[in-house]
Amino acid sequence: MLEDVKRVILVLSGKGGVGKSTVSTQLALTLKEHGFKVGLLDVDLCGPSVPYLLNLENHSVHQGPEGWIPVYLDTEQKLGVMSIGFLLSSRNDAVVWRGPKKTSMIKQFLEDVCWQELDFLVIDTPPGTSDEHITVMENLRQVPQCSAILVTTPQEVAIEDVRKEITFCRKTGIPIMGIIENMSGYECPVCSECTNIFSSGGGKSLAEIAKIPFLGSLPIDPRVGKLAGQGVAAVKEIPNSNTSKVFSELVKHLTESSANGES
């Protein structure tokens, strides 16, 4: 089903809660704003966040003649989304599954979803280096145009887990496009003093040590936090924010490297 997908971007992080889903959704929305046809696949089965972030809860997936039809954010069908959240009857339902069941679900997501032609497929993953990641990697091995973006926060305790994810990518042969540092500083809305709550610069120094491109740092911006649950692109709502600049740069980088035929 992935033959018609031009590029696959995996969003990874060893650590949870660093902003993988926020980066995935904003990246997909920014690509859509630039006129690309985008798919977003959420393989976090125990904690799917994408339907909520894009305001698509209560939508359901339909079975078409060629496979599952993803949920589309817009009527022009520029951004299609697939998540286990669409298959649960209540948003409070827990998916209490061991590895083998998760593996077969992800295989179905990769093989049975009818994405049609896509410029980009963004895959949002859960934290860790286990069943979900191994399955995605095994199934994407044949897809040559696949690369990974790593998300981290600046503090050591997150960096430590992301280093493990880098090892995972290297062992499994997934090219790493770069590292994004999220939640790097918080500007007090009263006195404008910038506090590095979770310290700062960790992502950049990790990128230097691991010899991986650094794709930018995203500040803690309550305006971006408020976009969660609305399904709108930061580049559209708050075009002058640092967040928008990072995502615009990222999309530029992606389109240029695609044009040059790199992965």
Residue 188 structure tokens: 């007090």
196 binds another protein (CB under 8 A): yes
Decide: is 220 part of the binding site for another protein (CB under 8 A). yes
Q: Which of residues 226-255 bind another protein (CB under 8 A)?
A: 226, 228-229
Q: Which two tokens stand for residue 205?
A: 């120094």
Which parts are annotated binding residues?
A: 14-21, 188, 191
Binder of another protein out of 4, 6, 17, 252 (CB under 8 A): 17
Contact 87, 93 (CB under 8 A): no
Contact map string, positions 49 to 78, toward another protein, x by CB under 8 A: x--xx-------------------------
* Residue 94 CB partners (closer than 8 Å, separation 6+): 46
173 binds another protein (CB under 8 A): no
- Which of 164, 223, 236, 252 is close enough to bind another protein by CB under 8 A? 164
What's the min distance (Å) between Cβ of 191 and another protein?
Answer: 4
State which of positions 78-137 bind another protein (CB under 8 A): 91-103, 126-131, 133-134
Q: Are 21 and 124 in contact (CB under 8 A)?
A: yes
* Helix, strand, coil share (%) of the chain residues, nearest 5: 40, 20, 40
- Other beta carbons less than 10 A from residue 75's beta carbon: 6
